[in-house]
Amino acid sequence: MKTLLTFIAAMICTLQSSAQTVAPDTTSRNEVAEGLLTVLLPAIAEKDSTKNIHELDEIVVKAPKVIRKSDMDVYHPSKSAVDNSKNGMQLLRNLMIPTLTVNDALGSISAAGQSVQIRINGKEVNAETIGKIKNRMREIIDADLPFHLKTVRTADAAVLFRERGMNDKTRLIESAGMPYTSYYELDGYINYFYGCLTPSTGYIQHFDLVPYFDGVLLRVPQKTNPTELEPVIRMWS
Protein backbone atom coordinates (compact mmCIF):
# COMPACT_ATOMS: atom_id res chain seq x y z
CA MET A 1 0.00 0.00 0.00
CA LYS A 2 2.87 2.40 0.84
CA THR A 3 4.51 1.90 -2.56
CA LEU A 4 1.17 2.34 -4.32
CA LEU A 5 0.52 5.60 -2.46
CA THR A 6 4.04 6.77 -3.33
CA PHE A 7 3.36 6.02 -7.01
CA ILE A 8 0.05 7.90 -6.87
CA ALA A 9 1.69 10.89 -5.18
CA ALA A 10 4.35 10.90 -7.89
CA MET A 11 1.62 10.86 -10.57
CA ILE A 12 -0.09 13.82 -8.91
CA CYS A 13 3.17 15.76 -8.80
CA THR A 14 3.88 14.91 -12.44
CA LEU A 15 0.80 16.82 -13.44
CA GLN A 16 2.68 19.87 -12.20
CA SER A 17 5.85 20.03 -13.74
CA SER A 18 18.99 4.55 -13.74
CA ALA A 19 39.45 -18.09 -15.11
CA GLN A 20 39.60 -18.46 -11.50
CA THR A 21 42.70 -20.50 -10.51
CA VAL A 22 42.74 -22.23 -7.11
CA ALA A 23 46.20 -22.87 -5.67
CA PRO A 24 46.80 -25.86 -3.39
CA ASP A 25 46.60 -25.16 0.31
CA THR A 26 50.35 -25.75 0.64
CA THR A 27 51.23 -23.05 -1.91
CA SER A 28 51.12 -19.38 -0.98
CA ARG A 29 49.65 -16.68 -3.23
CA ASN A 30 53.09 -15.13 -3.67
CA GLU A 31 54.54 -18.42 -4.89
CA VAL A 32 51.75 -18.81 -7.42
CA ALA A 33 52.22 -15.24 -8.65
CA GLU A 34 55.99 -15.69 -8.96
CA GLY A 35 55.47 -18.88 -10.95
CA LEU A 36 53.08 -17.18 -13.34
CA LEU A 37 55.42 -14.24 -13.85
CA THR A 38 58.34 -16.61 -14.51
CA VAL A 39 56.39 -18.24 -17.33
CA LEU A 40 54.67 -15.18 -18.78
CA LEU A 41 57.34 -12.48 -18.74
CA PRO A 42 59.94 -14.26 -20.92
CA ALA A 43 57.23 -15.25 -23.38
CA ILE A 44 56.02 -11.67 -23.68
CA ALA A 45 59.57 -10.36 -24.10
CA GLU A 46 60.35 -12.89 -26.82
CA LYS A 47 57.14 -12.13 -28.69
CA ASP A 48 57.83 -8.47 -29.26
CA SER A 49 60.51 -6.52 -27.47
CA THR A 50 60.01 -3.40 -29.57
CA LYS A 51 56.48 -2.48 -28.42
CA ASN A 52 55.99 0.38 -25.99
CA ILE A 53 54.89 -0.46 -22.50
CA HIS A 54 51.93 1.51 -21.09
CA GLU A 55 51.28 1.60 -17.39
CA LEU A 56 47.72 1.67 -16.12
CA ASP A 57 47.25 4.30 -13.45
CA GLU A 58 43.84 3.04 -12.37
CA ILE A 59 41.58 0.06 -12.95
CA VAL A 60 37.85 0.54 -12.45
CA VAL A 61 35.78 -2.56 -11.74
CA LYS A 62 32.06 -2.10 -12.36
CA ALA A 63 29.26 -4.33 -11.10
CA PRO A 64 27.28 -6.24 -13.72
CA LYS A 65 24.17 -4.49 -15.06
CA VAL A 66 22.08 -7.62 -14.50
CA ILE A 67 21.59 -9.50 -11.25
CA ARG A 68 20.26 -13.02 -11.70
CA LYS A 69 17.98 -14.36 -8.99
CA SER A 70 16.17 -17.66 -8.63
CA ASP A 71 12.88 -16.29 -9.96
CA MET A 72 13.91 -13.18 -11.92
CA ASP A 73 16.64 -11.13 -13.59
CA VAL A 74 17.08 -7.57 -12.30
CA TYR A 75 18.46 -5.11 -14.86
CA HIS A 76 20.09 -1.83 -13.82
CA PRO A 77 20.18 0.67 -16.70
CA SER A 78 23.38 2.61 -17.27
CA LYS A 79 23.43 6.41 -17.11
CA SER A 80 23.83 6.62 -20.89
CA ALA A 81 20.80 4.36 -21.40
CA VAL A 82 18.70 6.60 -19.17
CA ASP A 83 19.99 9.83 -20.72
CA ASN A 84 19.17 8.57 -24.23
CA SER A 85 15.63 7.46 -23.35
CA LYS A 86 12.58 9.71 -23.50
CA ASN A 87 10.25 7.15 -21.89
CA GLY A 88 10.12 3.69 -20.36
CA MET A 89 9.61 2.02 -23.73
CA GLN A 90 12.81 3.50 -25.14
CA LEU A 91 14.69 2.62 -21.95
CA LEU A 92 13.68 -1.03 -22.30
CA ARG A 93 14.90 -0.98 -25.89
CA ASN A 94 18.21 0.66 -24.92
CA LEU A 95 18.83 -2.02 -22.29
CA MET A 96 19.12 -4.53 -25.16
CA ILE A 97 17.78 -7.39 -23.06
CA PRO A 98 18.20 -10.71 -24.91
CA THR A 99 14.96 -12.19 -26.37
CA LEU A 100 13.06 -8.97 -25.53
CA THR A 101 11.62 -7.15 -28.54
CA VAL A 102 10.51 -3.53 -28.09
CA ASN A 103 8.52 -1.78 -30.80
CA ASP A 104 8.33 1.98 -30.17
CA ALA A 105 5.95 2.60 -33.06
CA LEU A 106 3.40 0.00 -31.97
CA GLY A 107 4.07 0.49 -28.28
CA SER A 108 4.42 -3.27 -27.85
CA ILE A 109 6.83 -5.49 -25.93
CA SER A 110 7.34 -9.20 -26.50
CA ALA A 111 9.77 -11.87 -25.32
CA ALA A 112 10.60 -14.80 -27.61
CA GLY A 113 7.43 -14.06 -29.53
CA GLN A 114 5.22 -14.02 -26.43
CA SER A 115 3.49 -10.97 -24.97
CA VAL A 116 4.99 -9.35 -21.87
CA GLN A 117 2.99 -8.36 -18.81
CA ILE A 118 3.53 -4.80 -17.56
CA ARG A 119 3.19 -4.24 -13.82
CA ILE A 120 3.15 -1.28 -11.42
CA ASN A 121 4.65 -2.11 -8.02
CA GLY A 122 4.27 -5.80 -8.83
CA LYS A 123 0.62 -5.53 -9.85
CA GLU A 124 -0.68 -6.15 -13.35
CA VAL A 125 -1.70 -3.05 -15.28
CA ASN A 126 -5.34 -3.63 -16.20
CA ALA A 127 -8.52 -1.58 -16.29
CA GLU A 128 -9.28 -2.35 -12.65
CA THR A 129 -5.85 -1.27 -11.42
CA ILE A 130 -5.95 1.90 -13.51
CA GLY A 131 -9.42 2.68 -12.19
CA LYS A 132 -8.28 2.33 -8.56
CA ILE A 133 -5.27 4.58 -9.12
CA LYS A 134 -7.42 7.18 -10.87
CA ASN A 135 -9.99 7.14 -8.06
CA ARG A 136 -7.26 7.57 -5.44
CA MET A 137 -5.82 10.48 -7.41
CA ARG A 138 -9.25 12.09 -7.44
CA GLU A 139 -9.54 11.61 -3.65
CA ILE A 140 -6.19 13.37 -3.14
CA ILE A 141 -7.31 16.21 -5.39
CA ASP A 142 -10.65 16.55 -3.60
CA ALA A 143 -8.82 16.64 -0.25
CA ASP A 144 -7.06 19.81 -1.46
CA LEU A 145 -3.77 18.78 0.17
CA PRO A 146 -1.10 21.50 0.25
CA PHE A 147 2.23 21.28 -1.55
CA HIS A 148 4.84 22.44 0.95
CA LEU A 149 7.97 24.06 -0.47
CA LYS A 150 10.94 23.47 1.82
CA THR A 151 14.49 24.78 1.63
CA VAL A 152 17.16 23.00 3.66
CA ARG A 153 20.90 22.41 3.63
CA THR A 154 21.83 20.24 0.66
CA ALA A 155 23.49 17.70 2.97
CA ASP A 156 20.23 17.32 4.91
CA ALA A 157 18.17 17.01 1.71
CA ALA A 158 20.56 14.32 0.45
CA VAL A 159 19.94 12.30 3.62
CA LEU A 160 16.16 12.53 3.13
CA PHE A 161 16.34 11.40 -0.51
CA ARG A 162 18.81 8.61 0.26
CA GLU A 163 16.60 7.28 3.08
CA ARG A 164 13.77 6.96 0.56
CA GLY A 165 15.90 5.16 -2.01
CA MET A 166 15.93 8.16 -4.36
CA ASN A 167 19.63 7.83 -5.15
CA ASP A 168 19.33 9.58 -8.52
CA LYS A 169 17.95 12.70 -6.84
CA THR A 170 20.65 12.45 -4.18
CA ARG A 171 23.39 12.48 -6.83
CA LEU A 172 21.65 15.32 -8.67
CA ILE A 173 21.50 17.74 -5.76
CA GLU A 174 24.97 16.79 -4.49
CA SER A 175 26.53 17.39 -7.92
CA ALA A 176 24.80 20.78 -8.29
CA GLY A 177 27.22 22.29 -5.78
CA MET A 178 24.57 24.45 -4.08
CA PRO A 179 24.68 24.90 -0.30
CA TYR A 180 20.87 24.78 -0.05
CA THR A 181 18.24 22.70 -1.87
CA SER A 182 14.51 23.27 -2.27
CA TYR A 183 12.03 20.41 -2.58
CA TYR A 184 8.28 19.84 -2.30
CA GLU A 185 6.44 17.70 0.23
CA LEU A 186 2.92 16.30 -0.22
CA ASP A 187 1.44 14.42 2.72
CA GLY A 188 4.80 12.79 3.56
CA TYR A 189 5.92 12.26 -0.04
CA ILE A 190 8.90 14.41 -1.10
CA ASN A 191 10.46 15.11 -4.49
CA TYR A 192 12.67 17.60 -6.30
CA PHE A 193 11.27 19.63 -9.20
CA TYR A 194 12.74 22.17 -11.60
CA GLY A 195 9.58 24.27 -11.72
CA CYS A 196 6.92 25.50 -9.33
CA LEU A 197 3.88 23.49 -8.21
CA THR A 198 0.41 24.75 -7.43
CA PRO A 199 -0.38 25.71 -3.82
CA SER A 200 -2.49 22.56 -3.34
CA THR A 201 -3.88 19.49 -5.13
CA GLY A 202 -7.30 21.13 -5.41
CA TYR A 203 -6.00 23.24 -8.30
CA ILE A 204 -5.71 20.08 -10.44
CA GLN A 205 -9.11 19.44 -11.99
CA HIS A 206 -8.38 18.28 -15.52
CA PHE A 207 -6.57 14.98 -16.04
CA ASP A 208 -7.20 11.42 -17.08
CA LEU A 209 -5.56 8.04 -16.68
CA VAL A 210 -6.21 5.61 -19.52
CA PRO A 211 -4.87 2.26 -20.80
CA TYR A 212 -2.24 2.77 -23.48
CA PHE A 213 -0.92 -0.23 -25.42
CA ASP A 214 0.54 -2.52 -22.73
CA GLY A 215 0.74 0.21 -20.10
CA VAL A 216 -0.98 3.36 -18.88
CA LEU A 217 -1.04 6.98 -20.07
CA LEU A 218 -1.41 10.05 -17.86
CA ARG A 219 -3.23 12.71 -19.85
CA VAL A 220 -2.46 16.31 -18.91
CA PRO A 221 -4.02 19.68 -19.86
CA GLN A 222 -2.98 21.52 -23.00
CA LYS A 223 -0.57 24.40 -22.41
CA THR A 224 -2.56 26.78 -24.60
CA ASN A 225 -5.96 25.60 -23.37
CA PRO A 226 -5.69 24.23 -19.80
CA THR A 227 -9.36 23.24 -19.66
CA GLU A 228 -8.82 20.67 -22.43
CA LEU A 229 -6.60 17.58 -22.28
CA GLU A 230 -3.84 16.80 -24.73
CA PRO A 231 -5.06 14.37 -27.41
CA VAL A 232 -4.08 10.71 -27.26
CA ILE A 233 -1.71 10.00 -30.14
CA ARG A 234 -1.06 6.42 -31.17
CA MET A 235 1.91 5.83 -33.43
CA TRP A 236 1.69 3.05 -35.94
CA SER A 237 4.34 1.79 -38.34
Q: What is the pLDDT of residues 110-123, one digit of tens each?
A: 777 776 766 666 66
Average pLDDT, the chain: 75
What's residue 56's pLDDT?
A: 53
| CB 18, CB 83: distance < 8 Å | no
At residue 182, φ and ψ (nearest 5 deg) are -105, 140
pLDDT digits (tens, 9 = 90+) for 129-178: 888 899 999 999 999 999 999 999 999 999 999 999 999 889 999 999 99
pLDDT digits (tens, 9 = 90+) for 26-63: 444 444 444 433 444 444 444 454 555 555 555 554 54
Alpha helices in 167-207, H assignment, sequence order:
167-176
Rounded Cα gap, residues 227 and 232, in angstroms: 16
In the chain, % of residues over pLDDT 90: 30
Rounded Cα gap, residues 111 and 232, in angstroms: 27
pLDDT confidence tier of residue 71, bands split at 50, 70 and 90: low
